[in-house]
């Protein structure tokens, strides 16, 4: 395990794909010597949560093309995939899950990063000192304390969005019977004969629906609007100057926020996923309830109606805005996540000392993606006002690195 020094130059919180992207770009620019940095993640390894989530939702391949990945060389993944063309999915060579995992492991090995992740959860981030002597005191869950001159937050995950009707349900049901998509692990579930309601119209809902059907369940997929079909979660124009140029020129932060919402436009399904869902619908394994939403749900511990089979005496009774009432064994909320820096548990002390302007939970950062006035850098969805709608994606990690790395080298 990596020895933890008392003080370092840079502390990176999170070991996901964005953090790995930042580190490889930083080392590429400072090839002659290796900066003093430590990556903190409870798992102690790179991309653990990323790989776990893909496995839990049985996701066969990425939605981003093969040129988007953590290595600075855009074509590194294509070279790695030579002889494995069957693991690059059409129409834009989308890397298969296993291929991407093995490529990232090769990136970690090639950049000699195996021992760079310290297995601990950061529980406190406290600004100390003044001016050029300002530092961050980092408290770890194991009781250790370390001081860093600069901090990079790359924790990735947003806050699960829970519908109002679900928030108002009294906690009298088994927790596994109503949960957010982030809590679902298909590989641990036996679903034969179960009726599952999936709420949400994004790609996650599609993966969960197909995974549940393959495990013997009958699924109802319910969306508040008509299902949207798109290759990517944001128009490819956001990957270059076509849209980013105008976005960067927009002086009003609230207008930028609105443009981000319009660009992502809620959840969407790829054409391939839509085809799979329509086929499952024709086979009677899936019901698509579009332009419909749940009004209320009640957990029935002892059903008075005739059960579908012996194990379904306990079930959910839901009521919808169209007047229908239906029974389900489980409800999965594929309702996405939101980003709110003010609710980030690690940044309360930082924001108290360095208050940042906020727009709908997103911070107004400086050009180098720092919270103004201090050396705390932000990556991922929380940097969307500067990076744009793809901030949380793999390409967003590259765009963020292009801003952060020069500031780290200069400083």
Confidence of residue 301 (pLDDT cuts 50, 70, 90): confident
Provide the pLDDT for residue 32. Answer: 57
89 pLDDT above the threshold of 70:
yes
* 371 Cβ neighbours under 8 A, 6+ residues apart: 350, 351, 354, 356, 363, 365, 378
* Superfamily for domain range 7-159+337-410: FAD/NAD(P)-binding domain (3.50.50.60)
Please write down the long-range contacts of 79-82, taking CB distance under 8 Å and 24 or more positions apart.
80/106
Ordered alpha helix ranges (H), 160-312? 164-167, 203-214, 241-249, 253-264, 271-282
Residue extents of the structural domains in the chain: 7-159+337-410, 162-228+266-333
Cα angle at 241 between 236 and 244, to 5 degrees? 80
95 pLDDT above the threshold of 80:
yes
Provide the pLDDT for residue 266. Answer: 81
Mean model confidence pLDDT for the chain: 93
Q: Report whether 200 contacts 228 (CB < 8 A).
A: no
DSSP notation for 101-163: HHHHHHHHHHTT-TT-EEE--EEEEEEES-GGG-EEEEEETTS-EEEEEEEEE-----EEP--
162-228+266-333: CATH topology: FAD/NAD(P)-binding domain (3.50.50)
Query: What would the pLDDT profile of 326-370 be if each residue is shown by its tens digit?
Result: 999 999 999 999 999 999 999 999 999 999 999 999 999 999 999
In angstroms, rounded to a whole number, what is the distance separating the alpha carbons of residues 80 and 323?
A: 54
Q: Can you tell me the mean pLDDT for 192-208? A: 97
Q: Can you tell me the mean pLDDT for 37-45? A: 96
Confidence of residue 241 (pLDDT cuts 50, 70, 90): confident
309 pLDDT above the threshold of 80:
no
Determine which of 22-31, 49-58, 333-342, 367-376 has the lowest per-residue pLDDT on average. 22-31
31 pLDDT above the threshold of 70:
no
Provide the pLDDT for residue 372. Answer: 97
In angstroms, rounded to a whole number, what is the distance separating the alpha carbons of residues 393 and 396?
A: 5
143 pLDDT above the threshold of 80:
yes
Q: What does DSSP say about strands 218-222 and 195-199: parallel, antiparallel, or unpaired?
A: parallel
312 pLDDT above the threshold of 60:
no
Higher-pLDDT residue of 370, 130? 370
Q: Can you tell me the mean pLDDT for 365-376? A: 97
Provide the pLDDT for residue 308. Answer: 44
Query: What would the pLDDT profile of 243-285 be if each residue is shown by its tens digit?
Result: 999 999 999 999 999 999 999 888 899 999 999 999 999 999 9
Fold: same for 7-159+337-410 and 162-228+266-333:
yes
Query: Which position has the token pair 């306990």?
Result: 314
């Amino acid at each position: 395990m990596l020895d933890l020094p008392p003080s370092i130059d840079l502390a990176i919180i999170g070991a996901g794909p964005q953090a790995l992207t930042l580190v490889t770009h930083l080392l590429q620019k400072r090839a002659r010597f290796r900066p003093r940095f430590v990556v903190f993640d409870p798992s102690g390894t790179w991309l653990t949560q990323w790989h776990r989530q893909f496995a839990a939702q049985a996701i066969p391949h990425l939605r981003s093309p093969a040129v988007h990945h953590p290595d600075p060389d855009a074509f590194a993944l294509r070279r790695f995939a030579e002889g494995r063309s069957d693991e690059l999915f059409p129409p834009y060579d989308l890397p298969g899950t296993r291929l991407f995992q093995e490529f990232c492991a090769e990136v970690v090995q090639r950049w000699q990063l195996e021992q760079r992740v310290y297995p601990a959860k950061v529980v406190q981030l406290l600004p100390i000192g003044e001016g050029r002597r300002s530092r961050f005191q980092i408290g770890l869950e194991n009781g250790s304390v370390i001081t860093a001159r600069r901090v990079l937050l790359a924790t990735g995950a947003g806050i699960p969005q829970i519908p109002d009707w679900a928030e108002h349900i009294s906690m009298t049901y088994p927790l596994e019977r109503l949960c957010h998509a982030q809590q679902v692990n298909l590989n641990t579930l036996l679903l034969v004969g179960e009726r599952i309601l999936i709420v949400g119209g994004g790609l996650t809902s599609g993966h969960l629906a197909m995974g549940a059907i393959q495990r013997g369940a009958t699924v109802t997929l319910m969306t508040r609007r008509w299902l949207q079909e798109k290759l990517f979660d944001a128009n490819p124009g956001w990957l270059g100057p076509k849209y980013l140029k105008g976005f960067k020129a927009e002086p009003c932060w609230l207008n930028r926020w609105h443009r981000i919402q319009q660009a992502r436009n809620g959840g969407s399904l790829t054409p391939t996923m839509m085809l799979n869902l329509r086929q499952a619908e024709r086979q009677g394994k899936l019901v698509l309830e579009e332009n419909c939403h749940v009004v209320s749900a009640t957990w029935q511990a002892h059903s008075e109606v005739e059960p579908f089979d012996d194990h379904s005496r306990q079930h959910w009774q839901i009521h919808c805005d169209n007047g229908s009432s239906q029974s389900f064994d489980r409800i999965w909320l594929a309702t996405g996540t939101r980003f709110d820096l003010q609710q980030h548990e690690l940044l309360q002390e930082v924001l108290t000392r360095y208050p940042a302007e906020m727009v709908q939970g997103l911070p107004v950062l400086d050009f180098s993606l720092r919270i103004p006035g201090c050396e705390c850098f932000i990556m991922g969805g929380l940097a969307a006002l500067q990076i744009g709608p793809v901030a949380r994606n793999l390409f967003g990690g590259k765009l963020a690195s292009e801003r952060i790395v020069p500031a780290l080298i200069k400083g």
